[in-house]
Amino acid sequence: MSVRGIRGAITVEENETNVILAETKTLLLEIVAQNKIMPEDICSVFVTVTADINATFPARAIRTMPQWEAVPLLCASEIAVPGSLPRCIRLLVLVNTEKPASEIQHVYLKEAEQLRPDLSNPQISIDMI
């Protein structure tokens, strides 16, 4: 079994607690759905935000989800690079899996699709589940 990293990003419309928590959850659930993983498969989740997101810790959204209480979480700030995408939340989900790296589905939603257009075509949506 290998440890694989699954990347994801999403943008938020505004720096408000409820919006940040909702969009963080949306991104994580999409990563979980596309990769068919369970919380017990997850080693940890690393969350970063751009400097313009500071109303709450996005990891709060994950910590309050059933079965996610034991998953180690960490939030950090992105480097403030001039011209970078604003209001962006990024996740790096480390997971134990038998899947080869080529089968991992990275997820980029909303304006974050422009960060990796080569990886921004989701195969399924949580709305389809």
Residue positions in the annotated binding site? Answer: 7, 90, 108
Task: Select which of 7, 23, 87, 88 is catalytic.
Answer: 7
Task: Select which of 43, 63, 69, 103 is catalytic.
Answer: 63
Task: Select which of 23, 30, 88, 108 is catalytic.
Answer: 108
Task: Select which of 90, 98, 103, 113 is catalytic.
Answer: 90
Task: Select which of 4, 23, 30, 75 is catalytic.
Answer: 75
Query: What does each C-alpha distance from 104 to 8, 47, 48, 95, 121 come to in angstroms?
Result: 11, 18, 20, 10, 13
Place of tokens 């017990």: 40
Query: Annotated binding site for prephenate: which residue ranges?
Result: 7, 90, 108
Residue 108 is a catalytic residue = yes
Residue 7 is a catalytic residue = yes
Task: Select which of 60, 78, 111, 113 is catalytic.
Answer: 78
Residue 87 is a catalytic residue = no
State both tokens at 127: 């709305």
Residue 88 is a catalytic residue = no
- Going by C-beta distance under 8 Å and a sequence separation of 6 or more, which residues neighbour residue 23? 10, 11, 12, 89, 110
Residue 75 is a catalytic residue = yes
- Compute the distance between CA of residue 89 and CA of residue 80 in angstroms, rounded to an integer: 13
DSSP state at residue 120: -
Strands 42-49 and 88-97: antiparallel
Residues identified as active-site: 7, 63, 75, 78, 90, 108, 116
